[in-house]
Structure 1
Amino acid sequence: MRDLIKDAIVDLKKGDGFIYVTADGSKIDLHDAAKQGISVTPVNPKAQVIKKLEEAGLPLNDTRFLNELNELISLVTGNSAGPKVTKRRTFSDAEKSKIVEEWKKVEAAGKKTKAAFAREIGVGYQTFINWLRG
């Protein structure tokens, strides 16, 4: 289990965002594959990690399980400081204007919904809508 978790961390920290696998499912560096003339498939490491951990009995998509696991870890380690409290971020009028301008470009391209864009920039959907109206 420890090796599985270590491998998952390494895969998720990769800089290019993908891991590359050969036809037999082995991981390989993209440059090494190119040198050897081996065909590879890019794989989203997050999806791969979640799949492997679920196969090992750790359902990371199950929020209830994650909450219970976090509670267990905090009780075992004695680190029961409670839930993290994050400070609300405030945006200047100039930042809001820039974000709204960026949204107009994204909207013109038709690439994202307002909700997805708001999540991406770390703002609540209703807050973002209020900025658009303002």
Structure 2
Amino acid sequence: MRDLIKDAIADLKKGDGFIYVTADGSKIDLHDAASKGIAVTPVNPKNQVIKKLEAAGLHLNDGKFLNELNELISLVTGNGVTSKTSKRRTFSDAEKSKIVEEWKKVEAAGKKTKAAFAREIGVGYQTFINWLRG
């Protein structure tokens, strides 16, 4: 599990934003592929990481799961006091814009309701609606 998490972090820290895969699914450097004449497909590493983590049972897009995981970590490490009330979080304008952009992608795919998306990101429904009107 630790190696999986380390690999996920490494994949997400790569600078160009995409990884490139061959027809058989192997990762390859874009310049190597071009010099060898190999056709590649750009893949968002975030999507690949999410699939790998979900296959291992880590559902990081599930807000409830994340809350439970954070509570478990807190209880095991003894860092912080867990309670039913959560600390109120303030989002910067840039974070709000990014969340609204992400919602537009999710909405275009028709996969979730606004309420489900707001729950997933840990924001109240009405707050999220206000951001959309913003």
- With normalisation by structure 1, the TM-score equals 0.62
Output the amino acid matched with 2:7. Answer: D
Q: How many Å separate the matches in 2 of 1:89 and 1:51?
A: 29
Residue aligning to 2:130: 126
* Cα deviations by residue, 1:13-70 (Å, 9 ceiling, x for unpaired): 1221111111111111111211222111111111111111111111122211111111
- Which segment drifts farther, 77-86 or 58-67? 77-86
Structure 1: which 4+ aligned runs deviate by more than 2 Å? Answer: 81-90, 123-130
- Which segment drifts farther, 7-16 or 74-83? 74-83
Summarize the Cα distance change of 1:84–1:9 in structure 2 as closer, same or farther, 3 Å threshold: farther
Output the amino acid matched with 1:7. Answer: D
Residue aligning to 1:101: none
Output the amino acid matched with 1:66. Answer: L
RMSD: 3.0
Residue aligning to 2:58: 58
Instruction: Flag structure 2 segments of 5+ consecutive residues without an equivalent.
Output: 94-98, 105-126
Residue aligning to 1:43: 43
Q: For this pair of structures, how many residues does the alignment match?
A: 104
Q: CA deviation at 1:125?
A: 5.4
Instruction: Give the structure, 1 or 2, with the largest relative contact order (CA under 8 Å, sep 6 or more).
Output: 2
Secondary structure in structure 2 of the residue aligned to 1:60: coil
Instruction: Flag structure 1 segments of 5+ consecutive residues without an equivalent.
Output: 91-114
Output the amino acid matched with 2:58. Answer: L
| Aligned residues with identical type, % of pairs | 69
- With normalisation by structure 2, the TM-score equals 0.62
Q: CA deviation at 1:72?
A: 0.7
Q: CA deviation at 1:88?
A: 6.5
Q: Does 1:7 align with 2:7?
A: yes
Output the amino acid matched with 2:30. Answer: L
Structure having the higher Rg: 1
Output the amino acid matched with 1:67. Answer: N
Summarize the Cα distance change of 1:28–1:5 in structure 2 as closer, same or farther, 3 Å threshold: same
